[in-house]
Chains A and B, each alone.
Chain A
Amino acid sequence: MNICIMGFGAVGKGVAKVISIKKDELKKKYGLDLKITGVSDSSGAAISPDGLDPNLLLEVKEKEGRVSQYPEYGTDNLTGLNFLEKVDYDCLVEVTPTNIDDGEPARSHMLKAFKDGKDVVTSNKGPLALNFRELTEAALSNKVKFKYEASVGGAMPIINFAHDTLAGCNFESIFGILNGTTNYILSRMAKEGSAYEQTLKEAQEMGIAETDPTQDVEGLDAACKIVILANSIMNKDVSLKDVYINGISKINQESILLAKKEGYLIKLVAEASDDTLEVSPRLVKSGTPFSVDGTMNVATLNTDLAEDVTVVGRGAGSIETASAILSDLINIWKS
């Protein structure tokens, strides 16, 4: 199976790494020979129909900062749709930086791949949260596979879990802690009694929060994810603009202490239920699955047949997210 990777940041590099680690195992277990026939980043690409060496890709990216420096097969200025024209592939792994204003350029990349009859695996929340139906319908009408497990909850299984393992169930509500950064900040504030600004700064220094933390702390990232879950699992037709969003930047130590006194914690919770689509700080009881610490993610699916089912897992990280992409690739291969 030939794959091309668009975007070579943390997730793209993680995909190259897990392919390098698992290459022999995948052949033995599934008879799957994953070949990376092309990789593009913001400045150029590397293309080889015989397959690029994942370790060399990582080395070049590390040293030179761009994949176009890949020996022999690197080319400058070949990006986006032109790249997709040139590369020979079966499945596109779309992991370019997410854009929550218009979902571009990832949306166009995916639509082109569908039109060309290619499968797509992505972790890209933006286009999924903005144009979910457009993308899934394009995949359907071109009779190709479209998988996006890595877009929600990193390594925490949820989308395929709901579709496959819980097949036959209807989903009445989904509650989840879907953003690791805010959960880390709130956990630290509760444990150490530190102020919000100070804790955010620490998280930034540790690389857990980004330099511009807006998307995380104002709840936009979690909102994208609950939109994806509502569309994909609950069969709704909603978009980012339909979510009622409150972030955590107003949470103070006073409120955390009041919650503690009652045996509760404050967490940023995303909810999709009958009449609600919301991301907001909520009170959760200490000692329940929702009191997870640090950057962990958790989600509870309320189903008609199996009652509540709760999943927990690592919500971010290069290798963790790549594990979800790899499982999508394997599932496409198996089917």
Chain B
Amino acid sequence: MRLDLVLELLDVPGQLLDVMEPISAAGANIVTIIHQRDVKTEKGMVSVQVTIEGDKETLDAVLNLLRERNVNIVEIDGVIQKEKIRTIIIGKIIESDIKDTIERLNNLEGVLVADLDLKMAEHPKESAAKIIVEADFGMKRDVMNKIKEIGEVKNFLVINEI
């Protein structure tokens, strides 16, 4: 049987090899591989599409090995493993410790702040920031509530998706 994977890799030498190794170690065959270094995701990562072949145990072993190596698996057989959640916040974003804001989100299991775009307004007006969070599928509500909670503590206006 075959398995289609979409992975995300850091754009540094040796990354692709790190992914190939567990595939061959488990005994699976690579059917196709598409690797475009020019196309970057929001996090500046490179997306790799791989189709591998093998029996079920082999394919499961590949997935386990990839997870052990902390390879970011975005899609398995067309099923998205991560979803993007966009939010805009308005308030005194820098003054109220932007690093802490990001950490509070990253501390949620399976959640990572992937992008942050900040527009400063002239004093005394309030700044606005767009935050894109990548989270394990099904985490959307939790992430949205967490952002709301942070907003309440730090007096941000939170503009979540619907």
Residues of A within 8 A of B (CB): 175, 246, 250-252, 254-255, 257-259, 261-262, 264, 266, 269, 271, 280-284, 290
**Residue of A whose beta carbon sits closest to that of B162:** A282
Chain B, 83-121, contact with A by CB distance < 8 Å: what is the 0/1 string? 000111011000000000000000000000000010111
Chain B, 118-162, contact with A by CB distance < 8 Å: what is the 0/1 string? 011100011111100000000000000000000000000111111
A-B contact pairs, 17 of them (CB 8 A): A175-B162, A246-B158, A250-B90, A251-B157, A251-B159, A252-B90, A252-B126, A255-B119, A255-B128, A258-B128, A259-B130, A259-B159, A264-B86, A280-B160, A282-B159, A283-B160, A283-B161
Query: Beyond A251-B159, A262-B130, A284-B161: 19 further Cβ-contacts under 8 Å?
Result: A250-B157, A251-B90, A252-B121, A254-B119, A255-B90, A257-B119, A258-B88, A258-B117, A258-B128, A259-B88, A259-B130, A261-B117, A266-B88, A266-B159, A280-B158, A281-B157, A283-B87, A283-B159, A283-B162
Contacts of A259 in B (CB 8 A): 88, 130, 159
**Interface of B, helix, strand, loop or mixed by DSSP:** strand
Compute how far the CA of A262 lies from the CA of B114 in the bound complex, rounded to whole angstroms.
Answer: 14
Contacts of B121 in A (CB 8 A): 252, 254
Interface residues of B in 21-72 (CB under 8 A from A): none
**Interface of A, helix, strand, loop or mixed by DSSP:** mixed
Compute how far the CA of A262 lies from the CA of B87 in the bound complex, rounded to whole angstroms.
Answer: 11
Compute how far the CA of A281 lies from the CA of B88 in the bound complex, rounded to whole angstroms.
Answer: 10
Contacts of A290 in B (CB 8 A): 162
Compute how far the CA of A271 lies from the CA of B90 in the bound complex, rounded to whole angstroms.
Answer: 21
Contacts of B88 in A (CB 8 A): 255, 258-259, 266, 283
**Residue of B whose beta carbon sits closest to that of A244:** B148
Contacts of B86 in A (CB 8 A): 262, 264, 283
Residues of B within 8 A of A (CB): 86-88, 90-91, 117, 119-121, 125-130, 157-162
Compute how far the CA of A266 lies from the CA of B89 in the bound complex, rounded to whole angstroms.
Answer: 12
A229 to chain B, nearest CB (A): 16
Compute how far the CA of A56 lies from the CA of B120 in the bound complex, rounded to whole angstroms.
Answer: 58
A306 to chain B, nearest CB (A): 19
Contacts of A252 in B (CB 8 A): 90, 121, 125-126, 128
**Residue of A whose beta carbon sits closest to that of B84:** A262
The verdict on A250 contacting B126 (CB below 8 Å), with A255-B88, A283-B87, A283-B160 known, is yes
B117 to chain A, nearest CB (A): 6
Contacts of A280 in B (CB 8 A): 158-160
- Residue pair B162, A261 in contact (C-beta under 8 Å): no
**Residue of A whose beta carbon sits closest to that of B161:** A283
Compute how far the CA of A252 lies from the CA of B117 in the bound complex, rounded to whole angstroms.
Answer: 15
A198 to chain B, nearest CB (A): 14
Compute how far the CA of A186 lies from the CA of B125 in the bound complex, rounded to whole angstroms.
Answer: 18
> Contact check: which of A246, A258, A271 meets B119 at CB < 8 Å?
A258
**Residue of B whose beta carbon sits closest to that of A300:** B162
**Residue of A whose beta carbon sits closest to that of B132:** A262
- Residue pair A281, B159 in contact (C-beta under 8 Å): yes
Compute how far the CA of A246 lies from the CA of B148 in the bound complex, rounded to whole angstroms.
Answer: 11
Compute how far the CA of A257 lies from the CA of B119 in the bound complex, rounded to whole angstroms.
Answer: 9
Compute how far the CA of A238 lies from the CA of B149 in the bound complex, rounded to whole angstroms.
Answer: 23
Compute how far the CA of A262 lies from the CA of B125 in the bound complex, rounded to whole angstroms.
Answer: 23
Compute how far the CA of A254 lies from the CA of B126 in the bound complex, rounded to whole angstroms.
Answer: 9
Nearest 3 Cβ contacts at the A-B interface? A254-B119, A254-B128, A255-B128
Contacts of B128 in A (CB 8 A): 252, 254-255, 258
B54 to chain A, nearest CB (A): 39
**Residue of B whose beta carbon sits closest to that of A248:** B157
A213 to chain B, nearest CB (A): 18
**Residue of A whose beta carbon sits closest to that of B119:** A254
**Residue of A whose beta carbon sits closest to that of B87:** A283
